[in-house]
Amino acid sequence: MTNLAKILSMRSLALSIAFLAYGIGSPAQDVFSNNTNIALEKVIRDFPNRFHNIRGEVLVQHPKTTEYKSTIQVPGSSACIITKYSLPDNDSYSWNCHVFQSREFSQAKNKFREIYDQIENTIIKVDGEKPFIVSGQYRTPYEERKLTNILFELLPASGEMKKMKIDLTIENVEAEWKVSLNVYDGERKEDESVTSN
C-alpha cells in the first residue's frame, strides 16, 4: 500500500470513528418524539393504574367527582386535570388537558392540526405490552361547526388498554375556541352518553 493510500485509509477510519462516537453520544432522535408525545405516553402508561402515579393534589371535590391536578403537563397548556368519577359499580378516571384557547378560530384550528400531527402515528410503549401506535382520522374543523372531535385508537389494543380512548377536540365555548386532549375510559364515556339521552 502506498503512503497516500494509507493516509486516505486512516483518514476514512478516523472519520468513521468520529461519526460513530457522535451518533452514540447524542440522544436518539425518534421521528415521533416531541413534548406532546412524551406527555401523552406518560399518561397512557399510567392508564391501567387509574392515573394513580400522575395524580397531584385535589383541586375540587363534589359528591360524584373529584378533580386532581395532573403532574404531567403538555408544554404550553393552561391546565391538565385528572377527574375521578364515583360510580356505584366502579370508579372511573379521565385525564383532560386544555392545550390552547383563543378568540381567533384560525389560531385554534392551526393548534388543533399541530397537536394532531404530533400524536398521530406515535409509538407508545407500555410495560408488559407490545408497542402501540396511536391512530386517528383527521377531521377538518370549520368555524360554523362549534365542535370537532378526533377519536384516536391504540393499535393493536388488548386487555385493559382496549377500554382506553384518546380524543382531541376543538370547541367554541363562550366566544373562545378551546383545544383539548383527553384520555379516558371509553366505557365511562359510553355510559354517560346513554344516561344523558
User: Global pTM?
Assistant: 0.76
Residue among 49, 43, 171, 56 at smallest CA distance from 95: 43
* pLDDT tens-digit series, residues 112-140: 999 999 999 999 888 888 899 999 999 99
Residue 156 preceded by cis peptide, ω within 30? yes
- Note the pLDDT of residue 100: 96
* pLDDT tens-digit series, residues 2-27: 554 454 444 443 333 333 333 333 33
Q: Which residue has the cell 387509574?
A: 50
Residue among 147, 139, 137, 138 at smallest CA distance from 177: 147
* pLDDT tens-digit series, residues 59-69: 999 999 999 99
Instruction: Give the distance from CA 77 to its chain's centroid.
Output: 12
Of 10-19, 48-57, 141-150, 177-186, minimum mean pLDDT range: 10-19
Helix, strand, coil shares of the chain as percentages rounded to 5?
A: 35, 35, 30
- Note the pLDDT of residue 150: 98
